[in-house]
Structure 1
């Protein structure tokens, strides 16, 4: 299998058929890349295991740090149709990455990354790779090695971030366990919002599938909110106030 390294060359000029607000929308390569610094990662297929568990979620997590380091947008390209890519974005709650359907494989073929996955029943799909594109020209490509299966060694978000800025710091991800109608939970969220700190909210209580036993198991406490920052248990709303005052 011969894969092309396009460093120093312009990306293919194609028009993608996308969906936006339940309507068809044509998006050109020029619109996506002209005058911008863009991180692109391509993968074999939406809803597939590595793509769903690691590749796309980590780019979504590191997107704010990539933007702080000069990246204007992050694109995920796959040889899938627009409906599949739209459903996948909703399934994974992707907010920071734009999913681009290369349904006819024109962009992937132009990149020299179209491979035969007929043995899996996939037909022709994209090889897994990532690249940094500046004003439509590829500066750097990370192409997965030519090995059997679906290698995932170099096209990950962390490798791209280290290339752009070796000293960039991982964001301290914030997770809150909350319950509907809890005033202390509302207070904790307000404190984070005032400081523009993004967070993930995990709802507990009836109908959520997460009980006070679960909260106790992970935090040692059964009350909410319980806040975790960067994997460290901070505590409740009062504990969060003290933490934020000290940082």
Structure 2
């Protein structure tokens, strides 16, 4: 499968979120339409780099994205209940959307899946961040295996400002 590239529209698929205690379906077309959005994805909620660096960076810098008129979405190939618990554990502020790609269909449509079977994790997402305007990818930053540099909140703020 080919990885999505800048200039291409994001695929329209369903993701899940917990809203007021209920699982809610979110269509990606509606999430990205008429908006500026940074979507960052992690291999797994509650995993070390994701919990110690990746999500905390976006939590700490969330107001800076808001000041630029950019919404922030975190996604993982986990279920919506795990994403809700992780958001609570990480003190994610209201407005930073935590979405579950439970079956990895959106991740696969982006061409950014990771085979974590050797680690007992199955299909997961590669670590990445993308910046989209009105549903079209403007920037894509995919981490090399084992790295955490180009998808951080700091790196994305710098890239958006460039």
TM-score, normalising length from structure 1? Answer: 0.63
Residue 15 of structure 1 aligns with which residue? Answer: 14
Q: How many residues align?
A: 161
- Deviation, 1:164, is 1.5
Q: How does 1:134-145 map to 2 (within 5 A)?
A: 134-145=133-144
- Deviation, 1:104, is 1.1
* RMSD between superposed Cα atoms in Å: 1.4
Residue 101 of structure 1 aligns with which residue? Answer: 100
Q: How does 1:179-190 map to 2 (within 5 A)?
A: none
Please give the alpha-carbon distance, in whole angstroms, between the structure 2 residues aligned to 1:16 and 1:37: 18
**Does the aligned pair in 2 maintain the 1:69–1:165 contact within 8 Å?**
no
In 2 relative to 1, CA 63–108 (structure 1 residues): closer, same or farther, beyond 3 Å?
same
Q: Deviations over 1:27-62 (max 9, x none)?
A: 111221000000110010000000001100111111
Residue 37 of structure 1 aligns with which residue? Answer: 36
Please give the alpha-carbon distance, in whole angstroms, between the structure 1 residues aligned to 2:16 and 2:151: 25
Residue 74 of structure 1 aligns with which residue? Answer: 72
Residue 110 of structure 1 aligns with which residue? Answer: 109
Residue 119 of structure 1 aligns with which residue? Answer: 118
In 2 relative to 1, CA 16–35 (structure 1 residues): closer, same or farther, beyond 3 Å?
same
Q: Deviations over 1:53-109 (max 9, x none)?
A: 1100111111111121231x1000100000100000001111052110000111100
* 1:128 equivalenced with 2:127 (yes/no): yes
**Does the aligned pair in 1 maintain the 2:141–2:150 contact within 8 Å?**
yes
Q: Which of the numbers 77, 82, 86 marks the counterpart of 1:88?
A: 86
* 1:153 equivalenced with 2:152 (yes/no): no
In 2 relative to 1, CA 28–5 (structure 1 residues): closer, same or farther, beyond 3 Å?
closer
* Structure 2 spans left out of the alignment, 5+ residues: none
Question: Radius of gyration: which is bigger?
Answer: 1
Please give the alpha-carbon distance, in whole angstroms, between the structure 1 residues aligned to 2:43 and 2:23: 23
TM-score, normalising length from structure 2? Answer: 0.94
**Does the aligned pair in 1 maintain the 2:10–2:135 contact within 8 Å?**
yes
**Does the aligned pair in 2 maintain the 1:69–1:164 contact within 8 Å?**
no
Please give the alpha-carbon distance, in whole angstroms, between the structure 2 residues aligned to 1:155 and 1:34: 22
